[in-house]
Structure 1
């Protein structure tokens, strides 16, 4: 379906219960200009709603758009934001992190017309200590080695037309919805570009992060089942890279690692066999889809 592109970049940001802590949002939204920022307030608490309204509702920036919904999961919130996006390119950000908009815009302006996705580098910020750690690939080969450690969909910038034509949607989950989304994209058929720029500052240690909510852990099991279903729909043994992609995605934090054994068991693969041949080699297979990065 045709749509009018009014911005170069749209940033979709689901906002949940932050207890009024919106300093990360303010730090970058207050300095952007020709960028569409779509804040999707999902089952938000009163303190956060008040803080958002005070900070942004009376702004003269036409690109800042605020919607309130009650999905209670970032997957549906991102889908909603995507439906409102009119930028040529789309970034999916989290409300407690800081995207580096100037670097992303620089990459967009220098990208090829054939690119569907631009992938950049990122840094982590320990909120409690203020320590920054850069995760920078130097070149394409280095990026391929690093991707298995942290997929980080928030450092992927998607061409809007590509997403609309693919029809890919996030599942209605609170955790691992981005990994399932990645599998839906079928990276083998996608044109990537790598930008040696820091696209994103990922903040760790916030007590209100969904990854710290034990009640949301069950969504990981649902994500695995969805991934297995998608894998089963593909031709056999071309699937190994998608299996490995899901494995390395689930390696994201310690609360997820125990699910890997269940995933391998369900696929009839012995963890002992995997370790015998080297899990590292299996994980590297998962980078095959991005070997087409330009």
Structure 2
């Protein structure tokens, strides 16, 4: 049985840990509120922009000729892996890294064997994980979440788009956590380039309609496709940002509860140890008194 001093030390340590996890939960909750508002406001815009592009592209031959639509044999692959900069968020980072590795092993094993799979890491945890595994990692944007803004994500998107049109990559995918609620994040892997045609119901209905374009058809398509791609990446980053704070809030809440349970157990141990020590002292006093009598 541990001594009273050891138990007191453990109780003190766990109380300090519980205070820290409570504070981290409150910070995550405050950040989550802002991040959740951002992604909820972004989703309708991103969805409508994609629908508009699908509708216009259904009646425009130029969309198929866009450099971002060019399908080539997949020799070189880029994975945009979005993780967080810090841990203490449960399985948030682990799940994204596992999904990315699963994609590589199942779909791009041959390309990976030749060293033709590269990683663009948004977030430090993903960069560290893939560097340890020997992948070529672009770490230019690992600090994106330090001051998250559309301008920073747009720069990353433009770099990837330019690399694709230059033939450096034949396929680009995004792997990230989609925010559902505080307790649930859904792992997503979306093809970024070449653009995947996903015609909506409205696009199918209007596929045979002759459009009048103002300004020109070429100008509209040329402007909309890059903008849609930038918004797609920004939306994925916002989804991941909200998911991170939700995951951290949940993890810290569970850690606080676990610390409370452990405190209850340790207090029982402390009381039992204290009672045993008192009983032992009483027995020693009684034994000494009996010895004096004899």
Structure having the higher helix fraction is: 2
Same fold (TM over 0.5): no
Determine which structure has greater relative contact order: mean sequence separation of CA pairs < 8 Å that are 6+ residues apart, divided by chain length.
2
Q: TM-score, normalised by structure 2?
A: 0.30
Structure having the higher strand fraction is: 1
